[in-house]
């Protein structure tokens, strides 16, 4: 297996800040990437090993207006989702093709309706909000990883037509760019003054007395995060990333770091504020701008107090130019539309009640414990007052409600 491993030469680029921390003043940028010729990527190995780079999340908006019939249905479905009855909640589903979108009980911000599955989170305005976009959509990370941004946008274009008449193409609203890499240098422990940045805020993140990341400009139109991705996926359960990393030479136990830049629409240059699809061609140049002009890790110099002249840390030089490499990471085979939990989560969590019952009754044999548990379960529901339905009815209600949440309800099965 051939993997790419590189570290930049010590030759560096210069950035010219308008304040000691580079916190103010817009820097010029063009799609061609005017940061100057990059240093040669040939050098001493053993600096970083890039695993993947690309778009983590992509947010777009569509001008236009929702169809009145769709708005009426979604309003009813939203009210079902607000019900205290499981059978009403289970009906709050919107089928579009083979998508079974969960309709949330509340809107988000100025958008009246929110529909979600594992591919998209779609916010829709209502029929009376003519000054609002028709839709604001997040294309989720797993789907982007599986098919790439071009195909994801094409699929979304077709999907949005169900909800109304778009008045134009998808417009870029926010983009999160990333590089996953393995390396021997702990960049997060570098002193604050070594970061030459165009924001004022830097936050350190720790967990169990261990440094897990550092963020810059949180909440601003442009922000950045450098963090331990292997620790983060213990919570996000994005285990599909491990297969992709392994295909590039990663081994279980190695720490994977992620460098990520988030840019909201207000922070995008004019060249990226138009239609989303053409903007995709310029994201590599935007990454290089962000990693050379907006944020840079420098090697402090005792002989020069002007921080903008300090040489760039060689690991940072490597990160700044990763997007110049071909994205030859193997694709995922598929990304499910559903958000169903994994077998590991279901069965480990599902054993809690059984093991608790067996412990209470002093039973250690599985067959005996399972049989006694099921017998006691039925007896409990049979003996309960009218506040609880029959066991089988209860299970049917709960399973339909969870099928809605997991996007697995089939058309015509909302009220089975």
User: What is the predicted pLDDT for the residue at 339?
Assistant: 67
pLDDT at 399: 78
pLDDT tens profile 142-173: 999 989 999 999 999 999 999 998 999 999 99
pLDDT in tens, 203-217: 999 888 888 899 999
Q: Residue range 133-138: average pLDDT?
A: 95
54 and 322 Cβ atoms separated by less than 8 Å: no
Residues 224, 217: contact at Cβ < 8 Å? yes
Per-residue model confidence (pLDDT) at position 87: 84
Residue 334 is predicted with a pLDDT of 65
3-43 residue pLDDT tens: 433 343 333 333 333 334 443 344 566 675 444 434 333 33
pLDDT (0 to 100) of residue 396: 76
Predicted pLDDT at 130: 61
Instruction: Estimate the crossing angle of helix 343-361 against helix 366-383, to 10 degrees.
Output: 80
Half-sphere exposure of 361 (CA within 13 A, CB side): 17
> Which helix (H) or strand (E) element contains residue 101?
strand 99-103
Do the beta carbons of residue 91 and residue 80 sit within 8 Å?
Answer: yes
Query: What local confidence, expressed as pLDDT, does residue 10 receive?
Result: 33
pLDDT score of 185: 82
pLDDT (tens digit per residue) in 94-127: 999 889 999 999 999 999 999 999 899 999 998 6
**Which helix (H) or strand (E) element contains residue 155?**
helix 149-160
What's the mean per-residue pLDDT of the chain? 83
- The mean per-residue pLDDT over the stretch 385-394 comes to 73
Q: What are phi and psi of 281, to 5 degrees?
A: -70, -15
Q: What is the largest CA-CA distance in the chain?
A: 83
Dump the DSSP string for 386-414.
Answer: TTS--HHHHHHHHHHHHHHHHT-PPTT-T
pLDDT at 382: 80
What is the predicted pLDDT for the residue at 377? 85
Helix, strand, coil shares of the chain, percent, nearest 5, are 35, 25, 40
pLDDT given at position 385: 67
Q: How far is CA 292 from CA 27, 61, 301, in A?
A: 11, 29, 18
Rounded Cα distance between 179 and 381, Å, is 53
């Amino acid at each position: 297996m051939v993997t790419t491993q590189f570290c930049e030469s010590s030759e560096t680029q210069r950035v010219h800040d308008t304040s000691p921390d580079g916190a103010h003043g817009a820097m010029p940028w063009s799609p061609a990437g005017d940061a100057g010729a990059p240093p040669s990527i040939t050098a001493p190995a053993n600096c970083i090993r890039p695993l993947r780079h690309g778009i983590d999340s992509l947010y777009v908006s569509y001008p236009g207006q929702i169809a009145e019939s769709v708005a009426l249905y979604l309003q009813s479905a939203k009210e079902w989702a607000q019900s205290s009855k499981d059978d009403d909640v289970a009906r709050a589903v919107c089928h579009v093709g083979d998508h079974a979108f969960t309709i949330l009980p509340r809107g988000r911000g100025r958008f009246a309706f929110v529909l979600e599955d594992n591919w998209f989170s779609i916010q829709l305005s209502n029929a009376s909000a003519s000054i609002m976009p028709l839709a604001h959509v997040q294309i989720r990370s797993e789907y982007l990883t599986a098919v790439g941004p071009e195909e994801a946008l094409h699929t979304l274009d077709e999907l949005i037509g169900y909800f109304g008449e778009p008045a134009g193409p998808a417009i870029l609203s926010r983009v999160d760019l990333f590089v996953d890499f393995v390396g021997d240098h702990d960049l997060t422990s570098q002193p604050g003054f070594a970061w030459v940045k165009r924001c004022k805020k830097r936050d350190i993140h720790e967990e169990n007395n261990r440094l897990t990341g550092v963020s810059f400009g949180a909440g601003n139109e442009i922000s950045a995060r450098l963090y331990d991705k292997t620790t983060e996926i213990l919570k996000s359960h994005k285990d599909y990333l491990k297969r992709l990393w392994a295909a590039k030479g990663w081994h279980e136990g190695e720490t994977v770091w992620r460098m990520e830049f988030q840019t909201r629409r207000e922070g995008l240059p004019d060249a990226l504020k138009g239609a989303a699809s053409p903007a995709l061609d310029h994201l590599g140049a935007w990454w290089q701008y962000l990693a050379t002009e907006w944020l840079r890790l420098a090697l402090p110099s005792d002989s020069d107090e002007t921080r903008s002249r300090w040489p760039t840390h060689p690991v940072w030089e490597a990160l700044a130019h990763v997007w110049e490499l071909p994205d030859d990471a193997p694709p995922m085979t598929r990304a499910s539309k559903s958000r169903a939990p994994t077998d590991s989560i279901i069965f480990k969590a599902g054993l809690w009640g059984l093991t608790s019952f067996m412990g209470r009754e002093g039973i250690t044999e599985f067959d005996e414990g399972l049989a006694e548990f099921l017998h006691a379960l039925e007896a409990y529901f049979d003996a309960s007052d009218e506040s609880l339905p029959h066991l089988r009815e209860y299970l049917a209600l709960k399973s339909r409600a969870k099928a809605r949440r997991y996007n697995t309800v089939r058309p015509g099965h909302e009220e089975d």
